[in-house]
């Protein structure tokens, strides 16, 4: 069992949990993920690592309660324990294995959307600790849905906010802010990393292509079992078939077939909605039985 050391609400339906998992914490690197099961009957859920502390033996995950399984995970409280917490899995971010002398000559731009802000944090933190400059854009529908702003501000060279409704920072999409920084403010970047909704990453990659700016994206949202066995996370990258969980989760955003990836992602929505309905009925039945018992 893996005890929950801390649980904190970041925004509506979005929860941060710090898990005691010493072996995972010691081996974790930016860009990797874990497989989580809430209990022995729970579904295996892949979640990108949002932070790790080898000294404390803790790993942080951020989960948005969307379907039945993520609701079950988010219902756990501090002091409860996860049945399974396996990892780290996947390949670390490319820069982890790049010589520091080379890295310190680069300047990174990170573009985060929604819950995708959480897995960007350990990457920016790692670069900050190794003396590499990185600017960060965090995008959300409105100011209430922004997460990790204080933590990101402590490790980024500059933090920029974009909200769809203009309630905070730049009024508009993150792609508009990317264009603002490069075209109108004259900022120069050597590489971009984008993590967020699939459609956001697609348009960030289309935007950065105009500037010949190398762009890495994380396709963690496609993963199901996290081992490459189920084949659900197949994606075409540069005309070749890749498996997100074993070949990624990070890929060259200019080579990803996003339309195919979004179609594949949509295949599982009906099943997830059905699972959520079944779980709701089961919970309702449990509540009714409690009422009858009383």
pLDDT at 279: 46
pLDDT at 43: 81
Q: What are the CB-based long-range contacts (under 8 Å, 24+) for 151-155?
A: 151/121, 152/112, 152/117, 152/120, 152/121, 152/124, 155/121, 155/124, 155/125, 155/127, 155/128
What is the token pair recorded at 9?
Answer: 């609400």
Helix (H) or strand (E) holding 240: strand 240-243
Q: What average pLDDT does this structure show over 193-205?
A: 93
Is domain 2-89 given the CATH code 3.30.70.20 in the classification?
A: no
> Which residues are registered as beta bridge partners of 161?
138
The alpha-carbon radius of gyration of the chain (Å, integer) is 19
pLDDT at 269: 55
pTM of this structure: 0.85
The single residue listed with the structure tokens 């324990």 is 81
Q: How far apart are CA 291 and CA 107, in angstroms?
A: 60
Domain borders along the chain are 2-89, 98-218
In the CATH scheme, what is the code of domain 98-218? 3.40.50.80
Q: What average pLDDT does this structure show over 136-149?
A: 94
For residues 171 and 180, the answer to whether their CB atoms sit within 8 Å is no
Number of neighbours of residue 101 by Cβ within 10 angstroms: 7
The 8-class DSSP code of residue 97 comes to G
**pLDDT (tens digit, 9 = 90+) per residue, 153-190?**
999 999 999 999 999 999 999 999 999 999 999 999 99
**pLDDT (tens digit, 9 = 90+) per residue, 38-90?**
888 878 888 889 999 999 999 999 988 887 888 888 888 999 999 899 889 98
- Tell how strand 170-171 and strand 191-195 pair up: unpaired
């Amino acid at each position: 069992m893996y005890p929950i050391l801390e649980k904190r609400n970041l925004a509506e339906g979005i929860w941060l949990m710090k898990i005691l998992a010493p072996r995972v914490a010691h081996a974790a690197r930016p860009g990797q993920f874990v497989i989580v099961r809430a209990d022995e009957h729970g579904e295996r859920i892949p979640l990108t690592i949002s932070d790790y502390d080898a000294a404390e033996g803790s790993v942080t995950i951020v989960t948005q309660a969307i379907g039945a399984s993520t609701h079950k995970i988010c219902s756990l409280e501090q002091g409860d324990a996860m049945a399974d917490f396996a990892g780290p899995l996947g390949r670390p971010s490319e820069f982890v294995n790049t010589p520091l002398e080379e890295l310190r000559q680069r300047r990174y731009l990170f573009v985060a959307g929604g819950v995708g802000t959480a897995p960007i944090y350990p990457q920016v933190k790692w670069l900050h600790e190794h003396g590499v400059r990185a600017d960060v854009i965090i995008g959300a529908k409105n100011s209430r849905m922004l997460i990790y702003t204080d933590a990101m501000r402590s490790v980024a060279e500059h933090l920029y906010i974009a909200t769809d409704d203009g309630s905070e920072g730049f009024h508009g999409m993150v792609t508009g802010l990317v264009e603002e920084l490069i075209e109108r403010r004259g900022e120069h970047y050597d590489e971009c990393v984008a993590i967020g909704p699939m459609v956001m990453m697609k348009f960030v990659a289309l935007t950065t292509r105009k500037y010949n700016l190398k762009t890495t994206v994380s396709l963690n949202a496609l993963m199901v079992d996290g081992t490459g066995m189920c084949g659900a996370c197949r994606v075409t990258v540069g005309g070749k078939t890749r498996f997100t969980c074993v070949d990624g989760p990070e890929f060259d955003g200019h080579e990803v077939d996003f339309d195919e990836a979004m179609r594949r992602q949509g295949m599982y929505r009906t099943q997830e909605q059905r699972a959520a309905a079944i779980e709701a009925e089961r919970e309702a039945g449990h509540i009714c039985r409690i009422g009858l018992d009383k």
